[in-house]
Amino acid sequence: MSSKTLNPFFTISEVTMAMNSTLDPDQVLEMILDHSLKFSNVESGSLMLVNSRESVLDIVTYRGHNPEIKKEIRLKIGQGITGIVASSGRGMIVNDVSKDPNYISIKKEIQSELAVPLIVEDMVIGVVSLDSNRINAFTEEHLKIVGILANQAALIFKNLQTFRRLEQKNKIQQVLIEISKIVTSSLDLDEIFQSIMATIERSLKLEKGSLVLFDESSETLRLVAAVGLSADEIDKGVYQLGEGVIGKVYESGEPMLIRSVANDPLFLNRVGYLDHFKNDPNNVSLLSAPVKSEQSIIGVLSVFLVHQKNMDTQTYLDFLQVVASIISQAVKIHHLVDEVKKEISRENVLLKRELKEKYKFGSIIGRSKNMEKLFEKIQLVSDSRASVLITGESGTGKEMIASAIHYNSNRSEKPFIKINCAAIPENLLESELFGHTKGSFTGAVADKKGKFEIADGGTIFLDEIGEMDLNLQSKLLRVLQEKEIEAVGSLKVKKVDIRILAATNANLETLIAEKKFRSDLYYRLNVVNIHTPALRERTDDIPLLTIHFIEKYSKENNKNIKGFTREVQKLLALYPWPGNVRELENIIERAVVMTQNTMLDENDFSEITEKLSSMNLPASKVSEDASTDLSNGLYSMPNLDAIDGRALEVVVGEVEARLIQYALKKFRYTKTRVAKFLGINRNTLDKRIKELKIEY
């Protein structure tokens, strides 16, 4: 067939369209070689790609040659006609190979050779080599057209390779997401590893994975988990440090790629992996990555890879390193599990000690006379078996008092169970307290222990006892009298040893009069009564509580609040605190969170100021006191005579001081409002308070 019968421009267009119609990069290489042979009307040829790692040309496809050519011919860059073309990036025609000293014979019949480079972005990625049994078989037109076709093919080939790599990386990302989910689903190392390897074997064709960890007792590397090995084979997986691929990776801390396990002396085949790849062991690679924990190496993760077309082994090795880091976290958790289990009993003891310390009397804040009496009562009642009724307003710390009683009693090592009777619906409270049997009511699918049974030997705290239904009150009375409980739906009774502490903010005597609370239960519960004083009844404790809450919430919110001003102290003392300590804690927390200063001042408590303003009684009382102070002083004649020569200065100073004191009281020590009332600015007010030595 003559090349003259082919239109070169038609050939370029036709070949380009054909190459653009496929997504297989190998098929593009096949097309360019076939069309170049057809256009040049020659008998044989080959297409080689540059192997930059080894600086050689690898034959990837050929026509008209013996199949052994792929194994026998590996020209170095710069060697032979094709090697020179690869090195120079310029095409060559040799129309009589016998006269060219650079020609390397690959078949004795060849008389002429044409070679053109495959170039992408000024980089030679391969060479198209065409051969003919005729002398002078090639023309400059052949060189030009084949060169154009080669460059077109090179660009398409490179783009398809990039597309394949992106596809591969996308698949790897999906597998990594799946592996991350596996690691968080279990604490069993072998189960995690088996699931990970099953995933990557299924998705990425990585096979026969194994995990080797360092054994401190024997100072060896031992196979701890593997896919596709028997228990006997796993037992053989013991390596010395530095021995074989595993030992080298562990020692160096660097990943390793063995391209052919059948031919590499570092691969020991100690557990018989090669038996699994009998068909083509030369085509099997081993990828190994160190498993690192912080700064140390704890093991080695390995997988086998059977080579396929367009497989990027380096990407797989990078992927394996990521998986190794994920497994290192699982290994770390696995090692910690046993330690955590051993620590559980010790931590329980420490926790109980901590609770006891937390609820000792000294941790209940207060130094007022009311609190001293309360502490004394707690100390007296703690080691007794008597039931205790804790009364007081909401927010006064009744639950804390109950905790202090329990953790300072001889039952402190036993359970302390808390129940809020108002928080559980009446139809569920009985089951919650006494338990139930399977089928005793709709939804009772199994037997359930009640809180009284769980608390056996310890203490149960019944908060809001006044909200308990009358029927349940009779059952509770039985527990107090007979020391026995009966589960819902059961005819059996069970003896229990329980101390009952109860609390209420209601007046139980009023509820008894209204037939809403049993008097006999009241007297059983109220063996000892502890009344928690309202905060307004112990205002001396407000500064202590305020300092405690400032420290607590400063730490929680990473702030450095040093304290509060005297104005704040007086403001907090004026407020009646209907919500008691709980309200104070809430107010202080809000102030700490919102302030931008290192000292809390009256501007941080605008809510308290506004509430005081709406309470007319305190304001009128302050006004009366201040008015009385203002009307008395140095204005009598004897006093004026005594300050002869300084009368104006002293009297004006006295009047100014009394006026400022009056305003401070009237506006609850809010200086911005005091300054506005007096018609001066805040700085002037502070200056006059200092100069006049006004105490407030």
Residue 675 belongs to domain with CATH number: 1.10.10
Do 192 and 115 share a structural domain? no
SS3 271: coil
Please name the residues in contact with 355: beta carbons below 8 A apart, sequence gap of 6 or more: 403, 407, 412
Q: Is residue 27 over pLDDT 70?
A: yes
Q: What is the DSSP letter of 76?
A: B
Tens of pLDDT, residues 342-386: 665 565 566 556 655 555 565 688 888 888 889 889 888 988 889
Residue 20 lies in a domain: yes
Residue with the larger pLDDT of the pair 678 and 466? 466
Domain interval for residue 527: 361-533
Residue 207's CATH number: 3.30.450.40
Helices (H), 205-312: 231-235, 244-252
Tens of pLDDT, residues 615-673: 654 433 443 444 444 444 444 444 455 555 666 666 677 777 888 888 887 777 788 88
What pLDDT is attached to residue 348?
Answer: 59
Q: Is residue 22 over pLDDT 80?
A: no
Separation of alpha carbons 112 and 135, rounded Å: 5
Residue 548 lies in a domain: no
Q: Is residue 532 over pLDDT 60?
A: yes
What pLDDT is attached to residue 270?
Answer: 82
Residue 176 lies in a domain: no
Residue 395 lies in a domain: yes
Q: Taking CA 509 as the corner, what is the angle to CA 392 and CA 499, rounded to the nearest 5 degrees?
A: 65
Residue 264 lies in a domain: yes
**What's the N-to-C CA distance of the chain in angstroms?**
116
Residue 150: which of 37, 254, 316 has the closest Cα?
37
Residue with the larger pLDDT of the pair 6 and 117? 117
Separation of alpha carbons 397 and 556, rounded Å: 21
DSSP H or E run through 421: none
Separation of alpha carbons 130 and 116, rounded Å: 9
What pLDDT is attached to residue 361?
Answer: 62
Confidence tier at 448 by pLDDT (50, 70, 90)? confident
Relative orientation angle of helices 647-666 and 682-691, to the nearest 10 degrees: 120
What pLDDT is attached to residue 629?
Answer: 42
Residue 40: which of 108, 119, 131 has the closest Cα?
131
Structural domain tally of the chain? 4
Phi, psi of 616 (to 5 degrees): -60, -30
Do 313 and 444 share a structural domain? no
Separation of alpha carbons 689 and 695, rounded Å: 8
Residue 564 lies in a domain: no
Separation of alpha carbons 46 and 54, rounded Å: 20
Separation of alpha carbons 448 and 434, rounded Å: 9
Residue with the larger pLDDT of the pair 28 and 389? 389
- The proportion of the chain whose per-residue pLDDT surpasses 90, expressed as a percent, equals 17
Phi, psi of 302 (to 5 degrees): -135, 150
Tens of pLDDT, residues 131-167: 998 999 888 888 888 888 787 777 777 776 666 666 6
Least reliable range by pLDDT among 163-167, 215-219, 279-283, 533-537 = 163-167
Residue 253 lies in a domain: yes
Do 462 and 370 share a structural domain? yes
Residue with the larger pLDDT of the pair 26 and 126? 126
Residue 549: which of 537, 565, 561, 535 has the closest Cα?
561
Residue 554 lies in a domain: no
Do 529 and 410 share a structural domain? yes
Last residue of a domain, one of 501, 533, 565: 533
Please give the single-letter amino acid code of residue 308: Q
Do 239 and 156 share a structural domain? no
Do 368 and 328 share a structural domain? no
Separation of alpha carbons 57 and 518, rounded Å: 100
DSSP 24-66: -HHHHHHHHHHHHHHHHT-SEEEEEEEETTTTEEEEEEEESS-
What pLDDT is attached to residue 16?
Answer: 59
Least reliable range by pLDDT among 18-32, 482-496, 517-531, 585-599 = 18-32
Separation of alpha carbons 466 and 521, rounded Å: 11
- Are 596 and 632 in contact by the 8 Å Cβ rule? The answer is no
Do 262 and 117 share a structural domain? no
Do 104 and 47 share a structural domain? yes
Do 519 and 477 share a structural domain? yes
Last residue of a domain, one of 533, 554, 579: 533
Do 209 and 132 share a structural domain? no
Query: What does each C-alpha distance from 256 to 48, 238, 382 come to in angstroms?
Result: 27, 19, 68
User: What is the mean predicted confidence (pLDDT) over 286-314?
Assistant: 80
Query: β-pairing, 44-51 with 56-63?
Result: antiparallel
Residue 617: which of 661, 663, 576, 579 has the closest Cα?
576
Separation of alpha carbons 464 and 565, rounded Å: 38
What pLDDT is attached to residue 432?
Answer: 87
What pLDDT is attached to residue 628?
Answer: 40
Query: β-pairing, 92-94 with 44-51?
Result: unpaired
- Are 427 and 472 in contact by the 8 Å Cβ rule? The answer is no
Last residue of a domain, one of 475, 499, 533: 533
Do 190 and 160 share a structural domain? no
CA 392 to chain centre: 43
What pLDDT is attached to residue 634?
Answer: 46
SS3 104: coil
- Torsion sign, CA atoms 166, 168, 171, 173: negative
Do 517 and 447 share a structural domain? yes
Q: Is residue 180 over pLDDT 80?
A: no
Least reliable range by pLDDT among 4-13, 286-295, 325-334, 386-395 = 4-13
Tell me which residue has tokens 């104005």: 567
Residue-wise over 141-178: b if at least 16 C-beta within 10 A, else e? ebbebbbbbbbbbbbbbbebbeebeeebeeebeebbee
SS3 625: helix
Least reliable range by pLDDT among 384-393, 422-431, 453-462, 527-536 = 422-431
Separation of alpha carbons 65 and 61, rounded Å: 10
Helices (H), 270-368: 313-358
Residue 505's CATH number: 3.40.50.300
Q: Is residue 437 over pLDDT 80?
A: yes
- Both tokens assigned to 674: 């005091």
Residue 532: which of 505, 499, 510 has the closest Cα?
505
Q: Is residue 573 over pLDDT 70?
A: yes
Relative orientation angle of helices 398-407 and 369-382, to the nearest 10 degrees: 40
User: What is the mean predicted confidence (pLDDT) over 544-569?
Assistant: 88
What pLDDT is attached to residue 625?
Answer: 43
Please name the residues in contact with 458: beta carbons below 8 A apart, sequence gap of 6 or more: 406, 411, 414, 415, 416, 417, 498, 499
Q: Select the highest-mean-pLDDT range: 30-39, 392-401, 444-453, 662-671.
A: 392-401
| Model confidence, pTM | 0.44
To the nearest whole number, what is the mean pLDDT of the chain? 81
Residue with the larger pLDDT of the pair 265 and 652? 265
Separation of alpha carbons 190 and 331, rounded Å: 10
Q: Is residue 210 over pLDDT 90?
A: no
